[in-house]
Structure 1
Amino acid sequence: MLRANASMSKQPTNGNNRELLVRQFVCNDLFARSKIGPIFYVLSALITGILANLHDPLSPIFGAALAILIVVAVARLTTRPPKNEPVHIEQFIIKHWCFVISSVVTWSAFYSWIVYTYGMSSAFLFGLVSTINFSTALVHQFSPQLKRAITCSLLCLLPSVLIMWLYQPSLSIVTFTLALYLPYLVLTARNSHKEYFNHLDNKLDLQAALAELEVLSVTDGLTGLLNRREFNKRLAVAMKICQRTQSGMGLILLDLDDFKTINDTYGHSVGDKCLIHATAILKRIFSRETDIIARVGGEEFAVIVQSNNEDEAKQSAKKLQEVFENTPYIDNTETASLRITASIGIAYYDGNESRSAEQLYIAADNAMYDAKNSGKNKVITA
């Protein structure tokens, strides 16, 4: 059957739950943003090597760099993020960054060697464009983790800039231009990081608001129990489950006796506290996963309880009646001790009947009013 309380619905995101959602979102986002990058590292290394004529015969440096990039690309594309497990999420993020750094360092070392060995050439120009693209993509794509994004971007670009400065004086204008580009990358990374988390905060706030609205749409604002509309849906579903599994269930309706007198004598604030008191009793008695509790009227409550037979359902109702009778509501602020009783009606459904949910509810409702009209504080079976 269906669980009775609001935990069936999405809960508003807050506290540790929100932090976990952020980590999960960042984890999934890092994976999604790294699907294309590994392939471009491989293609760029391959084309750069071919332009430098390193493929015939195969240069050991070219072959090693290409092999490492292919292995890392396969690892990055096949290692998928976990679901909602903080330890595993953190492990994935660390593993992911190890893959990214491996790709960056391998490419940077290979291209720095190209710069050192070949200077101005078609391989140099193609590799230069690729390096600028990689370093720029790193600060944008991986901005959720700012320090790592900046570190990887600098690891990608800075070694080749240093090689140009130290060993290729003819490329001084390129070196100077790239040196000016480095602070731009850092500033861009910071801005992207800020924009990313502003967007993420807005998204989570919207999700939390929608989740809260969803909870409010199916629950009673005072007691937190299901409301009448949602209970009717759950009742119909519970009956279908009984039909499919050939099991039984009891529908218990109860009305607090003389509740109007409590409101008139002590005020509605005490009346509300009595309703909350009644809710606590119901939750204590019907605490199984399959029990469904709702507030279906002002002082009326309904319970769906799995039962093997009608006697078992009636025993549950009798126990509820006894607990109500022996558990008065004590209001310390009003110095009031109120004995609260309930008139209870039961209708049993065995899964083989042709009754509708509405007919079952009416039967239990009639039994409840029979209990109330015959002296109150009674349990009557339909």
Structure 2
Amino acid sequence: MTNADLPHTPECFSLWREVQDTRTRTRLGGFYYLLAWLLCWLFSAAPMAHLTLGLAGGALFTLLLAARLLHRPPEPDSEAELQRWLDRHWGIILLSSFCWGMTHAWVLLADGFEPARLIATLATVGFGTAMAFNFAMRRRRAVLAILLLYVPGLAALALSEGGSRAELVTLVFYLSYLLLALNRSHREYANMIALELQLLEQRQRMDTLSRTDGLTLLGNRYQFNNLFPAMCASAQRHGSELSLLLMDIDFFKRINDEHGHSTGDACLRAFGERMREFFRRDSDALLRLGGEEFGVLMPDTGMEQARQLAEQFREDLANRGFLLGDQHLPITASLGLGCFAEGDQGSAETFFKRVDDALYRAKAKGRDRLELAQG
């Protein structure tokens, strides 16, 4: 998954990251529950005498393993779906913990399973440790899972006449350690998510800066070079319309020479603001292509609609100019306009050249005019 595919809101990213971590860490857990049960059964005093029980337990933990593996995460852009997935997956985890906790207690109490009691106890310790260190993202649920793993066995040891008090006390002390370790792991996980969010925000800011012209805050040439071919391909694939408007401020060098570069910069900023007034749709891409050259990509826009917008912009620019401080600056622009056509044969370069040629014809014919692309 690329950075562009990652969820961009902090809440959605945190949930998505938790889903990925939960799924990665839970895959092997179901297998080890199954393996622990098979070891307890096979190392019991008489495995074949408990064949039905052994197969039933194996089937139960196999189903829980399959539930973990088959429960696939949703798309990363839906916060509600991510939360729903987590709730359901934690349901599987808690059910597995409950089943093992009851299994541990039964092994401790059942006749004929004395040789497997140590296996069941060690497995319980291992599952509890894994829960404390690997599933600390949800502290309360992890605490509940650990208790479901431990409490049945502790109760069995406490109620069993032949139970080992030393074993009971040791497990209680280790349970308290796991709960403390869980709190620490939860804080570490929260700090890790916060750090990842900071890094994601920094990458997004850097990506925005790399695609934005610092003076006008329009898209820059780098963004155009990435966006334009993709929009042309989309227009060809879906048979939709795409218009490209190229604009060049007339005699911009004269503005810099007569009024200074600070006025020239102010003129470029004002030109960008004027573009925002006329090309206001969210789908329109407003760009500064370099120097005094600007562009507008208008998806789902035919030639006539784009021509009307471009002509209105040109006329307004010529009539109003710019008011920079207390100075009125008359200004005009030359424009070239084209619509993606079959003659372009899917080539963004061919389309751009047609519109660029139209822009140069507008300059050659006296400037302050709009020329339509040929072909």
Fold equivalence (TM over 0.5): yes
- Answering whether residue 33 of structure 2 is matched by residue 34 of structure 1, we say no
How far apart in 2 are the matches of 1:324 and 1:235? 26
Give the match for residue 68 of structure 2: 76
User: Greater shift after overlay, 117-126 or 357-366?
Assistant: 357-366
The TM-score normalised by the length of structure 2 is 0.80
Post-superposition Cα deviations, 1:27-61, rounded to whole Å, max 9, x if no partner, equal: 12111211111111112112212322464333776
Gapped regions of structure 1 (runs ≥ 5): 1-8
- SS in structure 1 of the partner of residue 279 of structure 2: helix
- Answering whether residue 373 of structure 2 is matched by residue 379 of structure 1, we say no
Match of 1:277 among 273, 282, 286: 273
- How far did residue 300 of structure 1 move? 2.7
1:109-120 correspondence runs (5 A): 109-118=102-111
- Answering whether residue 184 of structure 2 is matched by residue 207 of structure 1, we say no
How far apart in 2 are the matches of 1:307 and 1:103? 53
In structure 2, what residue type is equivalent to 1:146?
R
Identity of aligned residues (%): 25
How far apart in 1 are the matches of 2:6 and 2:124? 43
Give the match for residue 14 of structure 2: 22
- SS in structure 1 of the partner of residue 336 of structure 2: strand
How far apart in 1 are the matches of 2:43 and 2:299? 75
Gapped regions of structure 2 (runs ≥ 5): none
1:263-302 correspondence runs (5 A): 267=263, 270-271=266-267, 273-284=269-280, 287=281, 289=283, 291-302=284-295
- How far did residue 352 of structure 1 move? 2.5
Give the match for residue 187 of structure 1: 180
Give the match for residue 3 of structure 1: none
The TM-score normalised by the length of structure 1 is 0.79
Give the match for residue 128 of structure 2: 135
Match of 1:367 among 352, 361, 371: 361
How far apart in 1 are the matches of 2:113 and 2:60? 26
- How far did residue 62 of structure 1 move? 5.2
Match of 2:94 among 81, 101, 109: 101
Aligned residues: 364
Q: In the alignment, is the contact (CA less than 8 A) between 1:252 and 1:344 conserved in 2?
A: yes
User: Greater shift after overlay, 166-175 or 300-309?
Assistant: 300-309
User: Greater shift after overlay, 231-240 or 165-174?
Assistant: 231-240
How far apart in 1 are the matches of 2:259 and 2:4? 34
Give the match for residue 119 of structure 2: 126
Match of 2:220 among 224, 227, 240: 227
- How far did residue 306 of structure 1 move? 6.1
CA RMSD of aligned residues (A): 3.8
